Chain A
């Protein structure tokens, strides 16, 4: 008991607050990556292993546009459009012919695509990371840290994009189509919804959202051909913990896991803090394999 009290008293409050902010910021980007992933899985049962590469290519497109025009917002929009188009092409060419096949087929295909895109990026852009300038450079004082405003902007923008996406799903005609198709593909078709088109649209949308996350994240670490790997791994954990196909679950799980990792980083090396995610994943799979917030189909 005394040990616990002593431990709790020893927690540095300032560090705790800093790590909370960090956790929320990463959590929001992660939520943006994961929401595309979970949407794609929910509607067409495709586990998209190429999602991280769409994130990475999105960041590259962002850098190119940013360098050419100096306009970050344009970079964000162009990257969304280019990668959404790429996503649509990938879906039509490789996934559409596999609709109704064993999920293993689509896993292999998306895994193959991820290798192709990664090596394309290495060949085309080279192994040296590109720097992406922040759209805003100001800092504010968070205890003893100069904390960049940009990090908070990322969290706010991610939240805005997810919010906009939620409104789209909730109220627009195509949002209703997407939700209906997710629940019952056959009946959706019988009610006049062009299901193959909806699949393509959702894949494009998910790809575009991954691309925007890539652009938002790029100024923090720089852009290289492997930057998608970490994110897709974490996004998969988030999607499983949140409940495959549950958008709300993914968002909550993304923030939850990022916060846990941030807090763990107070005591252990940040590279080891990742273990926390795996612990959560394993516990979820053991005790609630459908995820914490699985939506009934």
Chain B
């Protein structure tokens, strides 16, 4: 285990991030942080830069200015595959499971790392199959044949195989039926109990408020509001202002 970050040093801190897609300015100075083991919700309307923030942290999109620090160290220019091994896992909005790979193979992608013993591999697998028995039943089925909800479970499980310090979770409940949403909620809580930090991007405001400790609200590429999740409820004026239709 690496040393636990102190309270003055967040797990991830993002400082004044600017990101462009071509000429459109997507992130206009985003600043936020996530402490170790903390679940942080990132809310905002569509297209305000929430997903881009996650992609930039993961190194999939390059920032033109600003810094991303992982446990105090600048990770600009560090390739994504190294970040994955340094404790950042990413569950994208469209899940992006490997469709032609079986469920097991999808998990193996994260599991076949240096320094993971076979016993540890089995432990990790048992854990996700206990959470999501459906995945266990379908372990030899191709990922592309799973339902949307099962694919979301697989995407989260796959990220868990990396034993991350933080999971960047992008709209995990999008398009899922209510029973699946409940399962996602439970897995977020379980990961939190295990001390995994989560930066959660969601449209589902009640779920985000219930799962997170702190909330950031973004508008037009910048964080406009931040507070403890307990200070807000779905009918709060701030929610109405930035998210209301």
Contact = CB atoms under 8 A, between A and B. Distances in A.
Interface stretch (B19-27, B91-99, B232-240): B91-99
Interface string A144-182: 000000000000000000000000000001001101100
Nearest to B112: A173
Given A179-B100, A183-B98, A195-B81, A190 B109 contact: no
Contact of A177 (B80, B84, B109, B158): B109
Contacts of A191: 81, 84, 109-110, 158, 162
Interface in A165-218: 173, 176-177, 179-180, 183-184, 186-195
Contacts of B96: 184, 186-187
B84 A190 contact: yes
Given A191-B158, A192-B162, A179 B101 contact: yes
B84 A183 contact: no
Given A187-B98, A192-B110, A176 B105 contact: yes
Given A176-B109, A183-B99, A192 B85 contact: yes
B190 interface: no
A180 B60 contact: no
Contacts of A184: 96, 98
Q: Give chain A's interface secondary structure class.
A: helix
Contacts, number: 68
Residue of B89, B97, B109, B113 ringed by the most chain A CB atoms within 10 A: B109
B58 interface: yes
Contact of B60 (A177, A183, A186, A295): A186
B80 A180 contact: no
Contacts of B90: 190
Contacts of B72: none
A183 B98 CA distance: 6
Contact of A173 (B60, B98, B108): B108
A12 interface: no
B47 interface: no
Nearest to B84: A192
A296 interface: yes
A190 B58 contact: yes
Contacts of B112: 173, 176-177
Interface in B69-119: 79-81, 84-85, 89-90, 92, 96-101, 105-106, 108-110, 112-113
Contacts of A295: 100
A189 B60 contact: yes
A189 B84 CA distance: 8
Contacts of B58: 190
Given A179-B98, A183-B101, A295-B100, A192 B81 contact: yes
Nearest to B100: A183
A193 B92 contact: no
**Which 4 pairs, one residue from A and one from B, show the smallest C-beta to C-beta distance?**
A192-B84, A187-B96, A189-B80, A173-B112
Interface of A: 173, 176-177, 179-180, 183-184, 186-195, 295-296
20 contacts: A173-B108, A173-B112, A176-B101, A176-B109, A180-B109, A183-B98, A186-B96, A187-B92, A187-B97, A188-B109, A189-B80, A190-B58, A191-B110, A192-B84, A192-B109, A193-B81, A193-B109, A194-B79, A194-B81, A295-B100
